[in-house]
A = this chain, B = another copy of it.
Amino acid sequence: MVQINKMLIELAEKRKTTRKFTQEKPSLKKILDVLEIARHAPSGSNKQPWRFIVINDSKVKALIREASEKGEKKFYKTISKKRRLAYKAMGNTWQKPMLEKAPILVAVISDTKAPNYRPSVWLSIGYIILSIEAAGLSTVTYTPSDPDIVRKALEIPDFFQIETILPIGFSADPKRKKPRKSLNELVFKNQWNKLLAKQ
């Protein structure tokens, strides 16, 4: 018997955030195969409040980059120099070249009329992230600082909301996966702050 649980953990462990991609274009068929998993996710009252725009047109990518960077510039003006430098050390600035350079973007959009739409859509993004890795592709969950600017640029009605833009392609990002906390620090037993590990 194949140990699906072991394979799943290994997949999640191997997966890392990618902001640089090779020029190779994944086919639209491959992107649809990746998104197929989202259909099967649970959602509040089974409303399936997720929509996707698959973008491979350079003009639309440039538009999304421009709209996103407009929001980022506004955001970076509101934060302290210290925080800005901390972000820079992590490789984050207001500039989002990946939105133009990734071969494919997938905009994940939520229907704000559905109950619990944000949790539902983000749970499905968890599915998609693993599915992207399983397909040998890479991504980063870019959440625009001002999603409304991007929504308007894409002429999406205002009761929908941009949750993330996923730049997708084959990784050319040399960065290593950031370290993670041990489960021993994160899991309590029967009450807050009573570590399970210490039992």
Q: Please list the residues of chain A having a beta carbon within 8 angstroms of any beta carbon in chain B.
A: 2, 4-5, 7-9, 11-13, 15, 17, 28, 32-42, 44-46, 48, 50-57, 60, 87, 90, 116, 118-119, 122-127, 129-131, 134-135, 140-141, 143, 154-157, 163-164, 178, 180-183, 186-192, 196
Contacts and interface: CB of A to CB of B under 8 A. Distances in A.
B52 A188 contact: yes
A82 to B, nearest CB: 14
B192 A156 contact: yes
A61 B85 CA distance: 45
Contacts of A48: 180-181, 186
Given A35-B183, A141-B42, A191-B154, A123 B129 contact: yes
Copies in the complex: 2
Nearest to A187: B52
Contacts of A35: 183, 186-187
A118 B155 CA distance: 26
A5 B134 contact: yes
Nearest to A15: B40
B54 A188 contact: yes
Contact of A32 (B42, B46, B183): B183
